[in-house]
A and B are shown apart, each in its own frame.
Chain A
Amino acid sequence: MNAEVSLVLQRKYEQLQQLADDPSAQISQVFEKSLQYVRRFSRYQNPDAVKQVREVLTRNQLHEFEVCVIGNLCPETVEEAKALVPSITKRGRMDDEKIETMLTDLATIKKFE
């Protein structure tokens, strides 16, 4: 999820700053852009909140990419979740109630992070 990537890249950036003994080693543009992107679009600032979110989502036996799409986009309604990740309905693994519970859990974590 973007939030996790943001933490990884942030640490790496700090490391790079400390090792600034080699001024010719510029931070690549790709890194810079990615860092800006994940900072802007990560929904959760607190690392504990991120862990909780991951826990909630993996509890429901979702595929890895489903976890990430829902974690990144934070759908608010069940229809939105179904439109963004159609595969959660396909295999009949999750019914509307379960999706609803999951989304409310995420919203709670976000509110109290």
Chain B
Amino acid sequence: MRIAILGCAYAVFRGDWVGSFSAGGTENGSKMFFHIYLDRNMQLHPRHFGPHLRDKLIAKLIQDVEGTCSGRHGFVVAVTAVETIGSGLIRDGTGFVTFPVKYQCVVFRPFKGEILESVVTMVNKMGFFAEAGPVQIFVSNHLIPDDMVFQSGDVPSYETSDGSVRIQKDSEVRLKIVGTRVDATEIFCIGTIKDDFLGLIGDPGGAT
């Protein structure tokens, strides 16, 4: 039994802030942040039907999708606009109705070979952990320049022999991603600071 519920095929809350800088098309953001269109089939229980059906559907979409991560698109950071909501289809056997929704969102996906800035969260003798947005990056001590040595103590850090460069918790570091791994719920990366112009930011010339 198929009864199409009157679908809402117009865009809902297309904020003007999305339009103000998508002049260059749908790309918005750095290489790691993308502004893309995605599709999803949303299931809705009949108790939500009524004058606020669309709003409830969008709220459910946001709840379901924001904060999740997929291998292909990376982290969905925020839903920015809902493009179309198709006609609903009643599922046989249950009263649930499925709506295909097309929406636009900001996603975050790191790429191998990308250079980005991050904040150090933890330092130990194997290397240090840094965070760039929702993604965690590990820099092993093999990928740290040889002149930087681990200093343990109250505040563990990596320091050059003359003490000019010091990487510790909360320092800003520019690193290059050498590998990514996607789990069910998060993306994890390995980085290096061994190349030119990488390393502590705010230091003239960066790490050698």
Q: Which residues of A contact B (CB under 8 A)?
A: 1-2, 4-5, 7-9, 11-12, 15, 22, 25, 28-31, 33-34, 37-38, 40-41, 47, 50-51, 54, 58, 64-65, 68-69, 71-73, 75, 79-80, 83-84
Whether B115 is near chain A, meaning CB under 8 Å from some CB there, is yes
CB contacts (< 8 Å) of B116 on chain A: these are: 72-73
* Contact pattern, B 141-178, Cβ under 8 Å of A = 1, otherwise 0: 00000000000000000000000000000001010000
* Contact pattern, B 95-125, Cβ under 8 Å of A = 1, otherwise 0: 0000000000010100000111101000000
CB contacts (< 8 Å) of B63 on chain A: these are: 25
Whether B21 is near chain A, meaning CB under 8 Å from some CB there, is yes
For B115, give the chain A residue with the smallest CB separation: A84
Within 8 A of A (CB), among B65-111: 66-69, 75-78, 80, 106, 108
Other-chain contact of B77, A7, A34, A71 (Cβ < 8 Å): A34
CA distance A54 to B23 in the complex (A): 10
CB contacts (< 8 Å) of B197 on chain A: these are: 75, 80, 83-84
B2-10, B37-45, B46-54, B127-135: which lies at the A interface? B127-135
Please give the number of chain B residues whose Cβ is less than 8 angstroms from any Cβ of chain A in the complex.
41
Residues B78 and A38 in contact, CB atoms below 8 Å apart: no
CB contacts (< 8 Å) of A30 on chain B: these are: 66-69, 75-77, 108, 133-134
CB contacts (< 8 Å) of B18 on chain A: these are: 8
Q: Which residues of B contact A (CB under 8 A)?
A: 15, 17-18, 20-21, 24, 27-31, 33, 35, 59, 62-63, 66-69, 75-78, 80, 106, 108, 114-117, 119, 131-134, 172, 174, 195-197
Q: How far is the CB of A29 from chain B (nearest CB, A)?
A: 7
Q: How many A-B residue pairs have CB under 8 A?
A: 109
Q: How far is the CB of A16 from chain B (nearest CB, A)?
A: 9
Residues B29 and A1 in contact, CB atoms below 8 Å apart: yes
Residues B80 and A12 in contact, CB atoms below 8 Å apart: yes
Q: How far is the CB of A11 from chain B (nearest CB, A)?
A: 5
Q: How far is the CB of A50 from chain B (nearest CB, A)?
A: 7
Judged by DSSP, the binding face of A is: helix
CB contacts (< 8 Å) of B115 on chain A: these are: 69, 73, 84
Residues B117 and A41 in contact, CB atoms below 8 Å apart: yes
Q: How far is the CB of A66 from chain B (nearest CB, A)?
A: 9
A37/B132 contact (C-beta < 8 A), A25-B59, A73-B174 known: yes
CA distance A84 to B30 in the complex (A): 14
Q: How far is the CB of A103 from chain B (nearest CB, A)?
A: 14
CA distance A4 to B18 in the complex (A): 10
Residues B117 and A5 in contact, CB atoms below 8 Å apart: no
For B33, give the chain A residue with the smallest CB separation: A5
Residues B21 and A50 in contact, CB atoms below 8 Å apart: yes
Shortest 7 CB-CB distances between A and B: which pairs? Answer: A28-B67, A68-B30, A37-B133, A65-B31, A30-B67, A30-B134, A34-B133
